Amino acid sequence: MLFNSFIFVGFLSVVLPLYYVLSHKWQNRMLLAASYVFYGAWDWRFCFLLAGTTLVDFQVARAIDRTADERRRKLLLLLSLSFGLGVLGFFKYCGFFVDSLNDLLACFGLGRMHWAVKVILPVGISFYTFQSLSYTIDVYRRRLKPVDGLVDYGLYVAYFPQLVAGPIERAINLLPRIMTKRTVGPAQIATAAQLVLMGYLKKIAIADAVAPCVEQIFSRPTACSSLKLLLGVYLFAVQIYCDFSGYSDIARGVSRWFGIELMVNFRQPYLSADIVDFWRRWHISLSTWLRDYLYIPLGGNRCGRLKTYRNLMITMLLGGLWHGAAWTFVIWGGLHGLYLSAAKLIGIRPMEQQIRTPRQLAAFGLRVLATFHLVCLGWVFFRAGSLDVAWSYLTGLAQLTTAVELRLVCVTGFYLTLMLLIDLPCWVRNEEYPLTTRTRWYVRGLAQATAVILISFVGAGHGTAFIYFRF
């Protein structure tokens, strides 16, 4: 069930009114049932996998809390990690490792295995696995007491607004909101509607609109000039950001209608003045998860420079592999690991957001452009279907040919400008959406009407799956 589909609108029009008339206890039960209906709309069989993850971590966390024996506590945590990562590894990486082994055998002339593994990837498995694992880890670290109610914990894992593409919530933040009584006022409903509208604008009117151009360029990079390839990377940068942040905005808005606040997952990442700041603003729920549950346990920056660089590389390589079972994602992660290591080696200092002089503005602009192009270099590997395609793309960029259609230049400029019109006011005011209560009513009305027209013009009544559903 896609957020940008009429089926979801119908689903929400049933769930929301029912939610408002129920007591808190029955609200959670109804939301849990609705979440399984939502997830089962893709493939009902994967509901058993979701339920299995929930039951294992619920019982393991309770067992960890009941014992004071550190060896037993570690074994129980290992059980949770083995189950969660084992299931994730089988469904997401089994075919990848078999194919990689076949390629390795072929390199040494040893032939290939004559069997293959074809496994359907359950939608959202990377997200809810990490969310459930963070719960057992936090219970093990004694940062959190396990919940007594299976319904509450089941809702924490399966909560449908953020089930299939995040944000990856922490139990310490989301569970209290689930377990306590909630009220929803007119102000929450209005701000939630703004988030949902902005999310649909990003997804449908921007990401879906540029998707055909991106597909055309990345499918045949050898037939494109260097300038056209560069514009293709720019358009993909727009597409993936608006697609994913659009999902997060819709998820946060829908959840706010239920009185449950979800964390902010994006903070205008393309206005970052360095790569460290980019990762503080891009996919925040994943970057902080990797920091707290992987980078810091590896030693973080506490063990000297060389081990700090090692820890950064391991974290980003695994972060790349989390995104997909392909070497292109591993290289993308490794590239960002190199960026972060270089930033730490050089000692790049963060830049203040308050810009007071033309010189500061010029320095900030140059740093933003440099960071954006470093990120775009990584997007080539992220979007390319294979290493061969990525290499063809990069060699094409290096040829410095300039033939390009005027229409593509205009399209790229238009959508980059539209993205900035959304993000720049949010960045300047540190707000979650560009239109605030201080904005004049006729400006808000005109902007919202324009957004609805753009969504209607591009959407045409059908939804395209969000990019991060495949992860």
Q: Which two tokens stand for residue 260?
A: 């449950």
CA–CA separation, 304 vs 87, rounded Å? 35
Asked if residue 167 has a cis previous peptide bond (ω within 30° of 0), the answer is yes
Q: Is 373 a catalytic residue?
A: no
Q: Say how many Å lie between the first and final Cα of the chain, rounded.
A: 16
CB 467 within 8 A of CB 243: yes
> Cα torsion for 417, 421, 424, 425, to the nearest 10°?
170
- Cα four-point dihedral sign 275, 278, 282, 285: positive
Looking from the CA of 349 toward its CB, the CA atoms found within 13 Å total: 4
Out of 24, 283, 323, 373, pick the active-site residue. Answer: 323
CB 115 within 8 A of CB 121: no
> Cα torsion for 188, 191, 195, 197, to the nearest 10°?
120
Task: List, in order, residues 6 or more apart from 236 with CB less than 8 Å away.
Answer: 210, 214, 218, 379, 383
CA–CA separation, 168 vs 132, rounded Å? 9
Angle at 310 between CA 126 and CA 86, to 5 degrees: 30
Q: Which two tokens stand for residue 96?
A: 């990848």
Q: Which two tokens stand for residue 415?
A: 């959508």
- Cα four-point dihedral sign 230, 236, 239, 245: negative
CB 378 within 8 A of CB 269: no
Residue 271 identity: L
- Which one-letter DSSP state was computed for residue 132? H
Q: Closest Cα to residue 88, out of 367, 324, 348, 263? A: 324
Point out the residues that are catalytic.
323
